[in-house]
Amino acid sequence: MLRSPGDGQAERVAWRDSRGCVAGRWLLRADGRCGPVAFAAPPSNLPDMRIAVSSDMDEPVARSLVAALRERGHDVRPHGALRPGDDPQWAVCSEAAAREVAEGTADQAVVCCWTGTGASIAANKVPGVRAALCTDAYTADGARRWNDANVLALSLRLTSQPLLTEILDAWFAGEPSADAEDRQNVDRVRLLDHGKSRL
């Protein structure tokens, strides 16, 4: 179990559960105050990546996302409302970002719309893309670990700045599972991209 300083009222305790997921919570301190329940993940050890980012609205969280990715050293490729003159419709810009991943011009993508649902649906229509709508760090960690997700979908309505940081930490810290069953499931999804259910 790893302990790290919190915000002055609580300290965060992080550990890995039985399936290897990063989990955590805020502990109550002597003064009786504590922070909200949260999940934590270590900083990313991944090398700088090309990341396509789309949003159908130029919202503060979308701008924060672009800034956060650049601060982490990634090459950001904006689409939709984040790129002047681009088509901001969620189906169009989400597909464009996802297609960069499928074609290999981007390593990963982050697609955003008001709920995140439309963006994830559009991205998942692109063969080779495995988009996951994540509203917390635990889901982001699991999406990378068990589903080998290569596109992160975010809700512009639900994602606050602190939550964005936690989700990105977990997403970039997560690594695809080497478990045989997990790999079989991902391989089956790849077959579905080609209209097949078995070899």
Distance of alpha carbon 141 from the chain centroid? 8
User: Mean pLDDT lowest for which of 5-9, 92-96, 136-140, 193-197?
Assistant: 5-9
Report the relative pairing of strands 151-155 and 131-133 from DSSP bridges: parallel
Report if residue 55 sits inside a domain: yes
pLDDT exceeds cutoff 70 at 5: no
**Confidence band of 101 (pLDDT split at 50, 70, 90):** very high
Looking at the predicted structure, is the pLDDT value of residue 2 above 70?
no
Residues 66 and 138 in one domain: yes
Cα separation, 177 vs 171, whole angstroms: 13
Banded model confidence at residue 32, pLDDT cuts 50, 70, 90: very low
Tokens of 117: 């649902």
Please identify which residue in the block is written with the tokens 């701008």.
Answer: 63
Residue position matching structure tokens 């977990």 = 170
Same domain, 16 and 84: no
The whole-number pLDDT of residue 46 equals: 56
Domain range for 160: 50-173
The one catalytic residue in 21, 93, 112, 113 is 113
Is the per-residue pLDDT at 107 higher than 70? yes
Mean residue pLDDT of the chain comes to 82
Examine residue 29 and state whether it is found in any structural domain, yes or no: yes
- Nearest Cα residue to 82 out of 108, 47, 56, 116: 56
R_g of the chain computed on alpha carbons: 17
How many domains would you assign to the chain? 2
3-state secondary structure of 112: strand
- Six token digits for residue 132: 């996951």
Sheet with 22-26, side-by-side order of all strands? 2-4, 12-16, 22-26
- Note whether residue 157 is domain-resident: yes
10 vs 199: CA distance, rounded Å: 52
Mean pLDDT computed over 171-185: 92
Is the domain of 84 the same as that of 158?
yes
Cα dist from 78 to 56, 83, 100, whole Å: 11, 6, 11
| pLDDT 10s digits, 110-169 | 999 999 999 999 999 999 999 999 999 999 999 999 999 999 999 999 999 999 999 999
pLDDT-based confidence at residue 9 (cuts at 50, 70, 90): very low
21 in catalytic set: no
| Strand 12-16 versus strand 22-26 pairing type | antiparallel
Task: Report the Cα 158 to chain-centroid distance in Å.
Answer: 14
pLDDT confidence band for 51 (50 / 70 / 90): very high
Residue 36 lies in a domain: yes
pTM: 0.77
Is the same domain home to 157 and 118? Answer: yes
